[in-house]
Amino acid sequence: MGKVKRSPWLLHYDASSCNGCDIEVLACMTPVYDVERFGVVNTADPMQADILLVTGGVNSQSAEVVKQLYDQMARPKVVVAVGICACTGGVFKDCYNINGGVDTVIPVDVYVPGCAARPESIIDGVVKAVQIFQERSDAHDKYVKEHGESERDLSDPDAAAREGNPADFFDAITKTSEGSRDKEAEKK
């Protein structure tokens, strides 16, 4: 691991995990394991987060929440799938309400196996994510210097349109965005 210049903030979401990996993620924050020594801070605000830790496979209801959280994060962002369920669906793969791993919804950079993933392996995954984050933010800085604006993902036109405009963020609870609600209200 090279020199880390930034301190990445970490967001944790439980997609459909059994809790085992979640409490191990929390245990990583406490003094015994302490990921804060790598400059990683646990935050609950997706807008300020750089690394997204997802535990558990996704189901139809949580898929939308995961997508929403990923959209709300500012670029550059790194996703870590913690536990075998988040990687492939794991023990719950055959359940009727499990669609599979997190990579069926959002792109995943680091896979951490284990059931439940041990704090040591979660720390290993987070350190890898910190490295990837460092590379990406260097590339991002370079892009901004050359083009004068933030890079956008043009492969997904919807995501590119949503980016930077909080009113158009997809709301997983009401299944609409604030922007589209306003438009509907105008029509009436």
- Name the residue among 74, 24, 30, 75 with its Cα closest to residue 53: 24
Chain residues that interact with other proteins, rule: CB under 8 A? 12-24, 26-27, 30-32, 44, 46, 56-57, 59, 61-62, 65, 69, 91-92, 94-98, 115-116, 118, 172-173
Give the shortest CB-14-to-other proteins separation in angstroms: 5
Q: Pick between residue 45 and residue 138 the one whose CB is nearest to other proteins.
A: 45
Give the shortest CB-151-to-other proteins separation in angstroms: 26
Give the shortest CB-159-to-other proteins separation in angstroms: 19
Alpha carbons within 13 angstroms on the beta-carbon side of residue 76 total: 20
Q: Pick between residue 40 and residue 98 the one whose CB is nearest to other proteins.
A: 98
For residue 127, the SS3 value is helix
Q: What is the dihedral of CA 64, 169, 139, 3, to 10 degrees?
A: -70
